[in-house]
Amino acid sequence: MPKKMRETATQIYGEPTWDIAQLFPLQGTWSVSEYMSLRPSRVIEYINGQLEIPDMPTQSHQLLAAYLYQTLLLFVTVRQLGTVLFAPLRVRISEGKYREPDIVFMHKDHAERRGEEFWVGADLVVEVVSPGEQDRKRDLIDKRKDYAEAQIPEYWIVDYQEKRIAVLTLEGKHYTVHGEFGENDVAASKLLAGFEVKVKEVFGAVK
């Protein structure tokens, strides 16, 4: 690492463990193979040579994700529709971009796109919006573009701060809003006919 960058990083973050840090590429120079070789115990996403590390999930975030995962898993399992999993799990958006949705569903007809190291796209993804400003931007703006780029048919955005669930469906290359559901509404999927959740019960999972 160049001396000036090292000094700047030290001023901002304090003295890191340089012997370990220098084993890894600088931001912007990571290759896909170097990213794939990581085996972290938390979510790390890859965007065109750079690593993005979202904030550690809060208890509220995990309770919401757990409720939605269990609800979707039951719906899909009973109907034998495919596979539902949860983060951390890499989903390839494009050759140089990997995301890790909170919840991800792949229809059984697309099972060949499920790999041990990563899935190639998905059929439905869910993100529980984290409270940090950068994390909110990532979930509400950046990932909306990325999941559309990957041609993922449906994207659920669960916003605990606003007490709202947005269900987005793919129209061509962009998402349109299938529905924005408040606490007194029932959020429903367009992709999975019959899958719906009471928004008040979803947010009531945070106790």
Each residue of 82-128: pLDDT tens digit?
A: 999 999 899 999 998 999 999 999 999 999 999 999 999 999 999 99
Q: Could you tell me the pLDDT band of residue 39, with boundaries at 50, 70 and 90?
A: low
All domains of the chain in start order, with CATH: 3-52 (no CATH), 59-203 (3.90.1570.10)
- Angle subtended at Cα 149 by Cα 145 and Cα 150, rounded to the nearest 5 degrees: 120
Q: Which residue from 115, 104, 99, 127 is spatially nearest to 35, judged by alpha carbons?
A: 99
Residue 200: partners with Cβ closer than 8 Å, 6 or more residues away: 183, 184
pLDDT in tens, 152-184: 999 999 999 999 999 999 999 999 999 999 999
pTM: 0.80
pLDDT band for position 2 (cuts 50, 70, 90): low
Q: Say whether the peptide bond before residue 25 is cis (omega within 30 degrees of 0).
A: no
